[in-house]
Structure 1
């Protein structure tokens, strides 16, 4: 097993680049978009591979008889390192709040630490009206005895539609 400092198992995933990604949200967005498209960052940014052809043999009358063509690799060591760094950085995100654990677990950011200059506070809640509509539909289904048995495996979706004018709405 590879060993890092102090005899600990060596960490993979390019932590230096991961720290750089942590400080650069725009680079993270571009890398994430490139990964979703199955492309390297340089390809995502418009790079196209160049081809190099080298003639290896000539005919007696001076024409090429044999040649080798090489294409620049899309996934060079820099591109691979960036993707591994993104994976390393994402591995440090809290699964619940989405913030990076380096910040969320730092005692200097603990709300209950009297010595800390910063502290986390909840922001929100924000109401998602599509989720609200889904929740209401699920509740209606669970209350209806004829369809309640379907509730545990029903998949609902929400669709945005125009509302009827107030004058045409049903009165309850």
Structure 2
């Protein structure tokens, strides 16, 4: 994704630079652990509640990694696990 740069055009347009600066500003203002804005999450006056959620894609990935690591003598060096969406299960009527 991106633009095709014509001969003589700069690698970065002014809009590209402005978007990169804005992206970096958002990264700098956001907690890398929880994703909340630091102006709010560092203020002791704010309360937070943690809730457990399940990412079923991560669950499938982690189960496959665990199963692969249980094989005796398996060399998993350099192996990565990827997750592919294979569809939806039908909802149960209840």
TM-score, with length taken from structure 2: 0.61
SS class of match (2:48): coil
**Quick one: structure 1 residues 143 and 93, their matched pair in 2 at CA, closer, same or farther if it must change by over 3 Å?**
same
1:153 and 2:86 correspond: no
| Superposition misfits of 4+ residues, deviation over 4 angstroms | 79-83
Query: What stretches of structure 1 of length at least 5 have no aligned partner?
Result: 1-35, 39-73, 110-118, 164-172
Does residue 87 (structure 1) correspond to residue 13 (structure 2)? The answer is no
1:101 aligned residue: 38
CA distance in 1, matches of 2:18, 2:34: 27
Aligned equivalents of 2:19 and 2:80: distance in 1? Answer: 38
Alignment: residue pair count: 79
Q: Deviation digits for residues 52-100 of structure 1, max 9, x if unmatched? A: xxxxxxxxxxxxxxxxxxxxxx638xx8667534432331111101111
In the TM superposition, residue 134 of structure 1 has moved relative to its aligned partner by 1.3
Question: Which runs of 5 or more structure 2 residues have no equivalent in the other structure?
Answer: 4-12, 89-94
Query: What secondary structure, in the 3-state scheme, does the structure 2 residue paired with 1:106 have?
Result: coil
